Amino acid sequence: MSEDARTAAPFSPRAALAVVTGGIVLFFLVLWLIGSGMGERKTNNGGAHAGSKGLTGYAAFAGYLAQRGFTVTTVRSAAALRQPGALVLTPPAGADPKDLERVVLRRRSFGPTLIVVPKWNAMPPPVNRPDAKTGWVMILGAGQPHWPGFYDDIYLALDRQRPRQARPRWSGAGLDGTLPDGSAVASGRGDRLIPLVATQGDARVLAAYVADGGDYPGLRALALADEPPVDEDEAHGDYPVIFVFEPDLIDNYGLSRAENALLGERIVAAALEGGERRVAFDLTFNGFARSRNLLTLAFEPPFLAATLCLMLAALVLGWRAFNRFGPALLTGRALAFGKTALVANAAGLIRRTRRLHLIGGPYADAAQGRLSRALALPARLGGAETEAAIDRALAARKVDGPAFSVTAAALRRARRPTDLLRAARTLHRLERTLTK
């Protein structure tokens, strides 16, 4: 293999730049897809929530408020439930009452909470209905939830109407209208409830707010009954809790009538009491809760600064990679040939094991043996006698420095690398003096 073939890069700079640029573009595309929620399931599934366009959904109410100048959002995380403005909760009948109570209590200091009590049992239309659209539902009947521990002093009622009986009419907020379906009317009663909407004639409470010691002048102006007097000095500063017992007042089924839309807007506006016109519709109780992912979190404060620093560092590294100084360095063989490689590998092993202090004695013995042969000393001499003979040979040559026996003893005692190296060099110098 030639030298040029070994140093040539496998990719040209343009090809490498294209690969890196393509990877960056794909990364940001995936990030955008995750942040925009394109990979999540559709909310128009026929449920009773703000993403549903079926009869029992509230997409029409959310769209109407947006057209009327409200800032309307949908909530899919528990952290977003604490944002200012009004919150519309549309929990299903099987919602956990402890979770409901926790959300409502935490919301009291952020904004009013409007709870729509579910009523209808619905299912998607059969597959043999070619005219059915996505999100349509068939109403199977009516029922009411059981949420023990959540406002137990409020009692729910479901009155079923006779087939030919006229649809009930309602009044409230200076408006009146007719319920879209009279087969079942949901209402509530309780000592702390201040009715906002009621049926005409029998005054069943269809919507009300809770009198809990707070001062709510906006809702008080819409109330159909007098609220117990509130001491302004002792009134707490929390926001109100509103119950809509009859969902047909504001669901898609009911918003086919203009008076229902106006009713819902007036109740929300009265609850906000002239504050910021923001309304959030909860989707977490309807199975659309999601957690914040790390990719989108990296581009939000306070992590945005660290992300920008990492991107800048990656840009600098990429620039340096495409503008390196000189050709690529050739790497040597992992195992070299000959005695030099053997010595280098042995030395590397000793250095890695940190056993340098064990080589001082063998090195001194090897030097003693070489000098004994070089001076033709008798083999019967012991170690001490051999070293004494070497010392006499050095003295005869008038060599400056320590005697061989002293240097050998210092090498055998050495433990630190610097001491070993110093004694070994001295011993090597003495050996070269005697073997010249």
Domain span at residue 365? 338-435
Q: 404 with 371: CB under 8 angstroms?
A: yes
Specify burial of residue 172 (Cβ count, 10 A radius: 0-12, 13-18, 19+): buried
Task: Say yes or no: 235 and 347 in one domain.
Answer: no
Residue 314 in domain: no
Backbone phi and psi for residue 279, each to the nearest 5 degrees, phi listed first? -130, 130
Distance in angstroms (rounded) separating the CA atoms of residues 22 and 25 = 5
pLDDT band at 96 (very low <50, low <70, confident <90, very high): very high
Residue 98 in domain: yes
CA 285 to each of CA 39, 56, 232, 251: distance values in angstroms, whole numbers, following the listed order = 20, 15, 35, 17
Helix residue ranges per DSSP H, 290-402: 294-297, 304-322, 338-353, 360-374, 383-396
Residue 310 in domain: no
- Residue ending a domain, among 289, 307, 323, is 289
Residue 103 in domain: yes
CATH code where residue 213 lies: 3.40.50
- Residue ending a domain, among 254, 289, 324, is 289
- pLDDT tens column, 12-65: 777 777 887 888 888 777 766 766 555 556 778 878 888 888 889 999 999 999
Detail the DSSP E strand segments found in 173-221: 175-178, 184-189, 193-199, 205-210
Task: Say yes or no: 243 and 146 in one domain.
Answer: yes
- pLDDT tens column, 190-200: 999 999 999 99
Task: Say yes or no: 281 and 348 in one domain.
Answer: no
Task: Say yes or no: 88 and 186 in one domain.
Answer: yes
Task: Say yes or no: 111 and 249 in one domain.
Answer: yes
Residue 303 in domain: no
Residue 276 in domain: yes
Q: 16 with 256: CB under 8 angstroms?
A: no
- pLDDT tens column, 105-162: 988 888 999 999 999 988 888 777 777 777 788 888 899 999 999 999 999 999 987 7
Task: Say yes or no: 259 and 185 in one domain.
Answer: yes
- pLDDT tens column, 411-429: 888 888 888 888 888 888 8
How many domains, the chain?
A: 2
pLDDT band at 265 (very low <50, low <70, confident <90, very high): very high
Residue 305 in domain: no
DSSP string of 120-171, one letter each residue: EEEEPPPTT-TTPPTT--EEEEE-----TTSSTT-EEEEEEPPTTSPPPEEE
- Residue ending a domain, among 289, 322, 352, is 289
Residue 385 in domain: yes
Task: Say yes or no: 274 and 401 in one domain.
Answer: no
